[in-house]
Amino acid sequence: MSCPYCCAETAEGALVCGDCGRDIAVPATLMAERDDLLRKRQELRDELKRARDEAEAFMRRRHSR
């Protein structure tokens, strides 16, 4: 498991991060929700990049006519 604050690796079940000293006793459901939101954010970023690339290609084709 990694610390949600400093991303240092911590022992499974640790209550406090050995690196930054912050409380990491966060319920597993919240950690799972955070991971799901991070995954969704990356999917949206990827989708936005594809849309931008398509728009740029469209504009290049339009200007080359």
**In this predicted structure, what is the pLDDT of residue 61?**
93
pTM beyond 0.75: the answer is no
| Res. 39: pLDDT tops 90 | yes
Residue 25's pLDDT is: 81
10 Å CB burial of residue 17 (0-12, 13-18, 19+) is buried
Residue 58's φ and ψ, nearest 5 degrees, are -60, -45
Task: Give pLDDT, residue 29.
Answer: 79
The fraction of the chain above a pLDDT of 90, given in percent, is 60
**Residue 18: C-alpha distances to residues 21, 23, 36, 59 (Å):** 6, 10, 25, 52
